[in-house]
Amino acid sequence: MMLLSGDPPRSRVLALILIAIIAMLAITPFVFPGAKPLNVAAKICIFAALVASYDLLLGYTGTVSFAHTMFYGIGSYAMAIALYTMGPNWGAVATGIVIGLPLAALLALGIGLFSLRVEAIFFAMITLAVASAFLVLASQLSWLTGGEDGRSFSLPELLRPGTVFIQDLFGVRINGRILTYYIILVGCAAMILGLLRVVNSPFGRVLQAVRENRFRAEALGYRTVFHLTYANVLAALVAACAGILNAMWLRYAGPDTSLSFSIMLDILLMVVIGGMGTIYGAIIGATIFILAQNYLQALMGAASTAAADAGLPLLPGLLHPDRWLLWLGLLFVASVYFFPTGVVGRLRGAPKPAD
């Protein structure tokens, strides 16, 4: 209870699902051999933390920001550029962290102070514009960011696949790659628990009050702009941390993996599917979404070829694996409409207004 900040899942099914997901993530290297399951598991961890940080904004303060991938990208690029220019050593890792996090915090502070005074719809538009400008900058300043190609780099010795610690543990060779995976798992778990702590603190309650009725919160004497800016900075910091972990896992940072608008849509989808305003929803949403992204596309490809073989019109195009966002978009609209509380809200059974 202490660990969960006094906010347990409050539903037996939800608790079981969460335990199952976390247990699976913990034992993935031992039960699912090969690179792909480990990649999927690492991505689930990183996105769970990223989505949880976005939930702090969307679910708890009710502000829609389209600039969240910008902070994620700042973390990724800071780590990538530091390791690329300084070589694979721990000093570079520290430099990436020391530069990336304050930069993200400062930018979040700037955006927050500049535009959180305005209403939700205005904030969404401004963040969208800022994020698109940042994306343009990242792909244009190629001397720094590598442009469209991004930056590939190598990790310090300890984290490389070639470094073997234990030759054989339950039939698995424990190497630097698996160590990296566990660093990511523990890091993301710590971030999610930290966010859970934040939203269940008095500060988190104020955020919810601001979401429900900003004028009333202000009338009660809370400086709402201060609280919103603070939440924005916190969310940006966690997003940048997730970006750092992502870059370390991929050993690469580029516009497509860390900045693009489609990642932003993915995050939005995960929050909505998992359930807004419940940090637990981030874990569920990220797991569902990334499993679907990695395993559903193969299924769609098979269905598409089957439809093409059967000579059906239009269906092969609609079922083509590249069109999977179409179905996710429909799912997204349907879930906003029919399940505004997401999976977690459903399981908890207590409908909570999302707007």
Partner 1 sequence: MTDVPIPAPSDALPKPKRDLVPVLLPLILALLMLPLVGSFSSWVTLTVASLAMGMMIFIMASGLTLVFGLMDVLNFGHGAFIAVGAYVATLVLLPLAGMSQADSLLVNLAVLAPAALAAMAVSGALGLVVERVLILPVYGQHLKQILMTTGGLIVAEQALYALWGPQIIPLPLPTALRGSFIIGDIAIAKYRLLVLLVGIAVFVAIQLVLNRTKIGLLIRAGVENREMVEALGYHIKRLFLGVFMVGSALAGFGGIMWALYREQVHASMGNDLTVLIFIVVIIGGLGSVGGCFIGALLVAMVANYGGFLVPKLALVSNILLMVAILMWRPRGLYAVTSR
Q: Which residue of 325, 339, 346, 352 would you call a contact of partner 1, by CB under 8 A?
A: 325
d(CA 58, CA 336): 13
Q: Is residue 137 part of the contact set for partner 1 (CB under 8 A)?
A: yes
CA 228 to chain centre: 20
Q: What angle do CA 170, 36, 335 make, to 5 degrees?
A: 120
Residue 175 burial (CB count, 10 A):
18
Subset of 159-198 contacting partner 1 (CB under 8 A): none
Q: Counting Cβ atoms within 10 Å, is residue 313 exposed (0-12), middle (13-18) or buried (19+)?
A: exposed
Strand-pairing partners, residue 151, are 253
Q: Is residue 283 part of the contact set for partner 1 (CB under 8 A)?
A: no
Q: Is residue 205 part of the contact set for partner 1 (CB under 8 A)?
A: no
Q: Is residue 124 part of the contact set for partner 1 (CB under 8 A)?
A: yes
Q: Is residue 128 part of the contact set for partner 1 (CB under 8 A)?
A: yes
Subset of 208-237 contacting partner 1 (CB under 8 A): none
For the chain, strand residue ranges (E) read: 151-152, 164-169, 172-175, 252-253
Q: Is residue 265 part of the contact set for partner 1 (CB under 8 A)?
A: yes
Q: Is residue 114 part of the contact set for partner 1 (CB under 8 A)?
A: yes
Residue 225 burial (CB count, 10 A):
15
For partner 1, the closer CB: 21 or 318: 318
Calculate the alpha carbon distances from 98 to 33, 65, 82 in Å.
35, 25, 10
For partner 1, the closer CB: 124 or 179: 124
Give 159-200 as a DSSP string.
GSTT-EEEEEETTEEEEHHHHHHHHHHHHHHHHHHHHHHHHT
For partner 1, the closer CB: 130 or 174: 130
Spatial CA neighbour of 230 closest among 122, 116, 125: 116
The interface region with partner 1, picked from 97-105, 135-143, 149-157, 201-209 by CB under 8 A, is 135-143
Minimum distance, C-beta of residue 215 to partner 1, in the bound complex (Å) = 14
Q: Is residue 326 part of the contact set for partner 1 (CB under 8 A)?
A: yes
Minimum distance, C-beta of residue 17 to partner 1, in the bound complex (Å) = 24
Q: Which residues bind partner 1 (CB under 8 A)?
A: 58, 62, 64, 114, 117-122, 124-126, 128-130, 132-133, 136-137, 140, 261, 265, 268, 272, 314, 317-318, 320, 322-323, 325-326, 328-330, 332-333, 336-337, 340, 354-355
